Amino acid sequence: MRTPFTGAGTALVTPFRKDGAIDDAAVRRLVRRQIESGIHFVSPCGTTGEAPTLSHHEKLRVCELVADETARRVPVLAGAGGYDTRDVIGLVRELERLGVDGILSVTPYYNKPTQEGLYQHYKAIAESTSLPIVLYNVPGRTGVNLEVQTVARLAAIRNIVGVKEASGNVTQMSEIVRACPDGFLVLSGDDPIAVAVMAIGGRGLISVASNALPAEMAQVIALAEKGDFAAARRLHHWLLPFLQVNFCEANPIPIKAAMAAMGLLEEAYRLPLVPPSPAARDKIMKVLQELKLLGSAARV
């Protein structure tokens, strides 16, 4: 049985206008398309949402728009992480008042805390809210790995319900599944290994690719949930060039370029992110053409 934050979730991009402001109408349009395509939950204001460049007010605005547009049709797992525990707690409290369904909280970056520091950070956040919390481990970006033993300790806290694992270390993910209670959710944070993570006991995916292809990514995970790994692999292998090209440059540069080519949003980024290089854009366009994705995503 699927529970909140299992299945296929989308790490939503944040659409900007050419003047740099958040495109409110595009946020709503993208969320509508996600729901109508069968995605299981949405996660705004994370890495793919360019959260480090959003102001406190903008994060609240995006999450407010997303929560309003979903209208409880799918859960909203709002991003709220950072290197200052007090600031994260303040944001979490405001998000709870907005009516989001849960919090996705990335490990503190730059500070490089110890494992005990990570435990105390998440414990303090959990004690500040009644919302379920999903840990987010992405050491390639943060410079710190949330180790298996720390995840197992945190899993004992009532409202820490899972981890988005983006370490790329499938062995570590398998150890987390083994070390944590049965109900604790291990979610893949990487599209290309999502089927593998499901095979070792993962419960879903928080996807970049589903911004462009929500129906297809939801189907891959649904097939794996049913245990039909042969069918899941076939669809995964067809999608693999797209899953890989989304990381030919720093996420979310490629996915935004792809979505713009598909007619889903204006291609706009915030510094220090910039449009893809000519070589990267050629790779993205080649994959879109090969998979016949151009012109396939009419605006909803």
Task: Give pLDDT, residue 299.
Answer: 37
260 DSSP assignment: H
Strand partners, 187: 164, 204
Structure token pair of residue 262: 């598909």
300 falls in which pLDDT band (50, 70, 90)?
very low
237 falls in which pLDDT band (50, 70, 90)?
very high
Mean pLDDT of 129-155: 97
Tens of pLDDT, residue by residue over 91-118, are 999 999 999 999 999 999 999 999 999 9
Mean pLDDT of 22-27: 98
Q: Which of 45, 67, 66, 48 is nearest to 56 (CA)?
A: 45
> Which residue in the list 164, 256, 269, 283 is annotated as catalytic?
164
298 falls in which pLDDT band (50, 70, 90)?
very low
2 falls in which pLDDT band (50, 70, 90)?
low
Mean pLDDT of 135-150: 97
Task: Give pLDDT, residue 1.
Answer: 58
3 state SS of 79 = strand
Cis peptide leading into residue 132 (ω within 30°): no
Distance separating alpha carbons of residues 248 and 37, to the nearest angstrom:
26
Tens of pLDDT, residue by residue over 258-274, are 999 999 999 999 999 99
Share of the chain above pLDDT 70, in %: 97
User: Catalytic annotation on 122?
Assistant: no
294 falls in which pLDDT band (50, 70, 90)?
confident
Distance separating alpha carbons of residues 1 and 215, to the nearest angstrom:
20
Tens of pLDDT, residue by residue over 245-254, are 999 999 999 9
Task: Give pLDDT, residue 3.
Answer: 77
The pLDDT mean for the chain works out to 96
3 state SS of 141 = helix
User: Catalytic annotation on 112?
Assistant: no
Please check the confidence at residue 296 and state whether its pLDDT lies above 70: no
> Which residue in the list 59, 136, 256, 283 is annotated as catalytic?
136
Q: Structure pTM?
A: 0.96
Tens of pLDDT, residue by residue over 161-203, are 999 999 999 999 999 999 999 999 999 999 999 999 999 999 9
Task: Give pLDDT, residue 157.
Answer: 97
Q: How would you label 176-211 residue by residue, b for 16+ Cβ within 10 Å and e otherwise? A: bbeebeeebbbbbbbbbbbbbbbbeebbbbbbbbbb
Distance separating alpha carbons of residues 42 and 35, to the nearest angstrom:
9
All domains in the chain, ordered by first residue:
7-226 (3.20.20.70)
